[in-house]
Structure 1
Amino acid sequence: MTEYELPRSREQGKQDVLDHLRQEEDAWVATASPDGVPTLVPLSFLCEDDSGALVMATRRTSPAAAIVTPHGLIRVTAGHTRDVVLIEGEGRIVEATDLPPTTRDAFAAKLRGWRPSGPRYVFLRITPRTVRTWREENELADRDLMRTGTWLP
């Protein structure tokens, strides 16, 4: 029997999500403008803590930064299609100078020294409201791991 034949427990799913977020460097970020124009961009990220909160860097002029500002809704996916993590949450723009030094240092350590700074870059801080994960069809029924910002038991 392979690890994919049996569905994961919610506890194991949460641990796998946090492991993904700690290990992966990039994720796909989806937003939509107020008039419904979608955008999808890959961004490098740091998972701040066990809450699943993410910090991502992008150019100030990127569609992701421009679109997240008016309404804050954002969707992020990490992993591959056979072990996906889907996060829906609220995003907000954070200036590099407003990030704690420990967060800036952790971001650079994870991303091999990359330190986005200056007026060209901003950070997005994403606070998850919903987290889902699944590998195969047998995990679809219990794919929700977080609702309204709280991990499910």
Structure 2
Amino acid sequence: MNGEPRLGVDFGRVIHGGLLAPGDDDTVFLGGSFEEALASPATAGVYEVLPGLIEAFGGRAWIISKCGDRVRKRTLAWLDQHDFYGRTGLPRQNVRFCRKRPEKALHCEELGITHMIDDRLDVHRAIRDVVPYRYLFGTAEGPEWVRHIPDWASAEIILEDIPVGRSRPATRRSR
């Protein structure tokens, strides 16, 4: 890794099904039919904010998600169904899966992730020594070592944490 900033983003309850109450599951995506899962919406604001973040990171962004085979297939199909790659600029090959949340730390270390958005505090605990900039997405606030982002509109603060002279554009543009 060359030291360039790299963004990691969780899928469930961040890109998709976000802003649920802590502990709630997205039952349509997880337990509904395959068709219902594909028809379910993205988290409000993701398409307005995430493309600018991916651009600011020079395309060095990954989805890092915990799930089993069934949900992995639904996730990949949902990303295609919603033209996620085209709408955000995330490279299609930049999607990673693991079976347990603490394993996200292994992906973050391997990829050199410097900034991670996830809705689970246990993930942030696992990546605490690996990822310097951690963002807890959603309604629950966390300890002082993780920055709270209640929604996608608030996620633009991540731009402030990209070191000057790196991929960050000189001025933020409106979308």
TM-score by length of 1: 0.30
Higher relative contact order (CA 8 A, sep 6+): 2
Q: Which structure dedicates a bigger proportion of its chain to helix?
A: 2
Structure with the greater alpha carbon radius of gyration: 1
